[in-house]
Each structure stands twice: as structure tokens, then as C-alpha cells.
Amino acid sequence: MNVLVLNSGSSSLKFQVIATDLDRIKQHRDARLCRGEVERIGGEAIVTFQKGNEVRQKFTAPLRDISATLDYLVRYMVSDRSGMTEIQSPADVHAVGHRVVHGGELFTESATITDKVLQGIEDCIDLAPLHNPNNIKCILAARELFGKAIPQVAVFDTAFHHSIPEQAYLYALPYHLYRRHRIRRYGFHGTSHRYVAYRYRTLRELTREQTHIVTLHLGNGCSAAAIRAGYSVDTSMGMTPLEGLAMGTRSGDIDPAIVNLIATKEGLSTPEVETLLNTQSGLLGISGLTNDMRVLQAELKEHDDRRVRLAIEVFCYRARKYIGAFLACMGGADAIVFTGGIGENSPEIRARICDALQWAGLTVDNEKNQQMVGMEGKISTEGSSLLAYVIPTDEELLIARDTVRCILGEPHPS
């Protein structure tokens, strides 16, 4: 089954086509036929397209909206230009899997998209006004392009965290605010945390019940999850992805009284302060330079800039603080798992985060840590009682697999 996986943003669309079915899932033989991204939709869009593992192609096309983008992409795939033999016509796309940001309390697992499910995603717009409308537009565009006969599945960023208990998801606010407006912590990056937890237990040949880990997704957005007996029991992101770790451009945890203070002192409206916390804070805000960890690390090496150093220190300190908190909350864990662009590729950041965790039984093996860049494996020493792993995430693969399992009515446990 060829599954088109779509992840739509406000002016961008990430896509992959993955060939998979129940047998391939079992044998871990899913095949990635192509992947890419369209940026700056609404004007002269930039398209990146990679067939299999071949060289990436980059070109521009005037694309006014998501509907035009999807139409363009599928026409490109079936044309000779893409070089794809598996997709000769739109009918060779057998199913579509969508990353949907917010499933609220309605969706505790992936769901085949019906009118009722679409209504449910719409009902969650209040919780994710910036994200869910894009996902809905993308679902409707795919429905128009492929027709209702091609099944579509929604895979929710929040779903994996549905198992978080009340004591962890409730804010200490007047309870009626939760009852009236569903103000609580939901958590995000669920597909990523779920995927690396599944890979971890596969690598170590453990059952789900034996999986006790803290996962750290460190990309542009960053979050930690406490996973006990294979289920998420706490996570650092909250009602929105703004809470928790210091991120590329997001502040993570702050004293909520600061919002009013910034608004008053800087003459900003509350939505403007929220935008500042989402887009001008984190690594970018502290360093005053960039949200790109690679650039910050290079800058630190070359110039030892004080604010660049501070940005990296705050980033690592906050991550370590959450690890400590989650270890306490879940009564200890067997391993810390790093994923995301920074977690997968930066031995220095991993070492800094783990540096002061010797009290918890974790010592990083320097050589293994240096080697483990963009690949899967253990980075803690043999003597460590708390292990550390690097596991590259693959949200698209999990979305494709869930799509197949939903359509075939199979349970989707991993």
C-alpha cells in the first residue's frame, strides 16, 4: 500500500510516500519512495523533492494554497520528472495519513477520517487555533483531489499522551476552567516519543510493560516525556507546545505574571507577547543570534561569545532539570533516549545534559557518544545503571503504519 504522509503548516507542507503493509511492518521492511517539503506556499513556493535516497532536487513553483500544492505534487510524482515508477497515476496513492496537531480529549488514538472525525478535529480548533485549521484544509484538499474512496487517517500529536494521569495534566487553576474550557496539559510530539519508545524496546528486546524511559525530543521544538510501562505518564509541553523546555524560539516555562509585565513595559498586546514567547525567545532570544544549534555551537567554539554560551547552558540545564523531575515522578527509569535534530546529531549537547546525572547512575561513554550521530545506539558506559540511547525519530513512518492499521482495522499498539 502506498501511503502519502502529509504534515501541513501555515505556509509549508512536508510529504513522504511510504510503501507499507502489515507484513512489511512486521518485518520492518517499509520503503520510503519519496520525501520532501514545499515552503512559502502562497507565493513562489520552494519545492524540495527526493526520490528514495537519490540526490535532492530543489525548484520553485507558483502555488497559491494547500490545494494547489497537493495537486502540483501529485502531478509531479506521476510525471517523468520525478522518476518514480511506483506512482504512475493518482490511483497509485492508496491512502493518505495526516499529522494532526491537536486531538484534545476526543482522540486517544489515530482515526480513519470520517465526517464525524473531521468535526472532532474542528472542535479542537479552540485548543490549537494556529495548527488545526491548516490540518483541516489539507484533509479537505486531499479529499477533493483523491475522492472519498481513498481512505485518509489522522494521527494526532497529542494522542500518545492520553495516558497521563489527572494529577499530571491538571493545572492548579480554578477547576471550573478545566470543566468549561478544557484547560489542561495535553502534550505534543506524541508520535515521536511513541516511535522512539517502540524502537528502544525493539532494540533491547523488551516488552511494552518493561519500557521505563525518559525520552527527549530536541529539535526546533523540544519536549521530554516520562514513559512508564510503555505509556506516557507525563510530558513537558502543556496546553500548547509553549510550555516546558527552552527551545529554538520558544521560551518554555516562565512565570505567567511575566506576560502582563512584558505587555505593560513593552507596550504590547497579550497576543503579541505570546508571539514573542513563541517566536523570539529560547535559543534565539538569549543568544540574540539564531535558533540554529549548529550555528551556536560553531560560534561558541570560535568566539566564546557570552550570550551564545548562556543560551546553550540554559537549554541544557532545563533539559537536565526535566530529566531529574521525571525520574522522581516515575520512581526512576532504565534509560534516557535522545531524539530530534539536536538530540540525534549533537554529542556535545547530549554530554552537557548528561554531565551532572552521575548521581542517577548515568555515565556517558565519550567515544560512543561521538560516534552516535544520526544513528541508533547506546551511548552510556557498560557500568551505568541508568542507560542513555540515541534513536533517530521517524514520525512519518509511524503515521504511514498507523494509516495502514486503521484502514485494516488492526490495533495499533506501538
Comparing CB distances to ligand ADP, the nearer of 35 and 405 is 35
The residue among 191 and 211 lying less far from ligand ADP, judged by its C-beta, is 191
* 279: contact with ligand ADP by CB under 6 A: no
Candidates 61-69, 77-85, 94-102, 338-346 — which segment interacts with ligand ADP by CB under 6 A? 338-346
Where do the H-state alpha helices sit in 45-114? 66-78
Question: b or e along 29-41 (b: 16 or more beta carbons within 10 Å of the residue's beta carbon)?
Answer: ebebbbbbbbeeb
d(CA 109, CA 412): 8
Q: Is 392 in the site for ligand ADP (CB under 6 A)?
A: no
Note whether 221 binds ligand ADP by CB under 6 A.
Answer: yes
Q: Decide: is 192 part of the binding site for ligand ADP (CB under 6 A).
A: no
Give me the least distance between CB of 292 and ligand ADP, in Å please. Answer: 4
Minimum distance of ligand ADP from residue 220's CB (angstroms): 3
In whole angstroms, how close is the CB of 181 to ligand ADP at the nearest point?
28
Q: Give the number of other CB atoms < 10 A from CB of residue 244.
A: 24
Stretch that binds ligand ADP, among 28-36, 130-138, 219-227, 356-364 (CB under 6 A): 219-227
**64 conformational bin, left if phi > 0, alpha if psi -120 to 50, beta if neither:** alpha
What is the layout of strands, in order, in the sheet containing 231-235?
A: 231-235, 222-228, 213-218, 335-339, 387-390, 377-378
Cα gap 190→217, rounded to integer Å = 10
Among 147-155, 156-164, 208-216, 291-299, the segment contacting ligand ADP (CB under 6 A): 291-299
Residue with cell 525519530: 393
Region binding ligand ADP by CB under 6 A among candidate stretches 71-79, 198-206, 306-314, 336-344: 336-344
Name the grid cell of 393.
Answer: 525519530
Residue 342 is a binding residue for ligand ADP (CB under 6 A): yes
| Residue choice 97, 120, 241, 248 for contact with ligand ADP (CB under 6 A) | 248
Indicate which residues carry an active-site annotation: 157
The Cβ-side half-sphere exposure at 181, using a 13 Å CA radius, reads 12
Counting contacts by CB under 6 A, is residue 341 touching ligand ADP? yes
Identified binder of ligand ADP from the candidate list 11, 57, 163, 220, rule CB under 6 A: 220
251, 345, 380, 384: residue in contact with ligand ADP (rule CB under 6 A):
345
252 binds ligand ADP, rule: CB under 6 A? no
Residue with cell 489527572: 166
Q: Nearest approach, Cβ of 197 to ligand ADP (angstroms)?
A: 17
With CB under 6 A as the rule, give the number of residues binding ligand ADP: 13
Out of 2, 281, 346, 384, point to the residue binding ligand ADP (CB under 6 A). Answer: 346
- Where do runs of H (alpha helix) occur along 159-243? 166-169, 175-181, 190-203
Given the DSSP bridges, would you call strands 2-8 and 95-100 parallel, antiparallel or unpaired? parallel
Residue 28 Ramachandran class (φ > 0 left, ψ -120 to 50 alpha, else beta): left
Beta bridge partners of 258: none
Q: Which residues bind ligand ADP (CB under 6 A)?
A: 219-221, 248, 292-294, 297, 340-342, 345-346
